[in-house]
Amino acid sequence: MPSAVRFPAPGKYRELERKACAIRQDVIRMLTAAGSGHPGGSLSAVEILTALYFQVLRVDPRQPDDPERDRFILSKGHACPALYATLAERGFFPLSWLEDLRRLGSPLQGHPDMRKVPGVEMSTGSLGQGLSVGVGMALAGRLRESGYRVYVLLGDGECQEGQVWEAAMAAAHYRLRNLVAIVDRNGLQIDGPTEEVLALEPLADKWKAFGWSVITVNGHDFGELLSAFESVGYARRPTAIIARTVKGKGVSFMENQVDWHGKAPNREQGEQALKELQERGEATWR
């Protein structure tokens, strides 16, 4: 279960680890400044986003609308601080934008708006809708005879929405091998552990039963994540990656704490979190 998930020993993915650490710090700074937002599910998804944007996705920040680009949809839109930080670190827009998260007039809305932020492929926030849009984009890619792939990051609690399974059925029916669903399996939702609120297990079996190729990985291990992403497209089926993660990952007092789903750190907590992340980062990089 998620509590057993740890950072792997520092190794060959030093650059990615460094980026992930920077993104985590950005997330903490953004949320502290904004005074509201969702740290738990942002921090759990950092390695997934880092792996995608710095290793996997064929995207070019100078041409965010290139028709041949890979698409990424953050279906769990409340984790947008992590997406914004990743996009900024990847060069889609200046890092200074991050300071204005959730402020009136800012492009960085409380949930992602595709019309306001370069690199955001879909406006999300109301849960359960991203995979359906991914199905449409994957169908479009096939119609255009394009080789692009569509990646959709779902929350685990979000998988309680019926629409997710409607989309899963459609993706398998249309044999969308260019579609990847990644489930951020951190095990917690607003009201508590997913298995107590409304049980999802056996989650991998559910995706398999819906006709998907399923891989379960440690969602904080770049080696496992990247090898899962490499296997995409070999089956004549869509791929689901169940990424076991820790909610609030990287900040000791946030890890596995349901309270940090939708609460921003105050200044003191923010500083404490940054200190921890910096220390860990330095330990990793030396």
Partner 1 sequence: MAVNSGPLLATREGYGRALVELGHRDERVVVLDADLSKSTQTAGFAREFPARFFNAGVAEANLIGMAAGLAASGFIPFASTFAIFATQRALNQIFQSVAYPGLNVKIAASHAGITVGEDGASHQAVDDLALLRAMPGMTVVVPADAYEAYQATFAVAAWEGPVYLRLGRPAAPVVTPPEKPFAIGRITVLREGDDVTICACGLMVGVALAAAEKLSAEGIQAAVLNVSTLKPLDTETLLAYAARSRAVVTVEEHSIIGGLGGAVCEALAATMPVPVVRMGISDSFGQSGKPAELLAHYGLTAQDVAQAVKKAIERKEKKNG
Q: Which residues bind partner 1 (CB under 8 A)?
A: 67, 113-115, 121-126, 128-141, 143-144, 150, 162-163, 166-167, 169-170, 173-174
Between 130 and 248, CB nearer to partner 1? 130
Between 173 and 275, CB nearer to partner 1? 173
The distance of closest approach from Cβ of residue 54 to partner 1 in the complex, given in angstroms and rounded to an integer, is 24
Among residues 118, 58, 123, the alpha carbon closest in space to that of 84 is found at 118
Between 50 and 109, CB nearer to partner 1? 109
Between 128 and 238, CB nearer to partner 1? 128
The distance of closest approach from Cβ of residue 159 to partner 1 in the complex, given in angstroms and rounded to an integer, is 14
Between 100 and 113, CB nearer to partner 1? 113
Among residues 251, 247, 273, the alpha carbon closest in space to that of 76 is found at 247
The distance of closest approach from Cβ of residue 71 to partner 1 in the complex, given in angstroms and rounded to an integer, is 8
Q: Which two tokens stand for residue 205?
A: 């079996």
Long-range CB contacts (within 8 A, 24+) of 262-266:
262/36, 262/37, 262/38, 262/40, 262/78, 262/190, 263/39, 264/31, 264/32, 264/34, 264/35, 264/36, 264/37, 264/39, 265/28, 265/31, 265/32, 265/39, 266/32
The distance of closest approach from Cβ of residue 133 to partner 1 in the complex, given in angstroms and rounded to an integer, is 4
The distance of closest approach from Cβ of residue 67 to partner 1 in the complex, given in angstroms and rounded to an integer, is 7
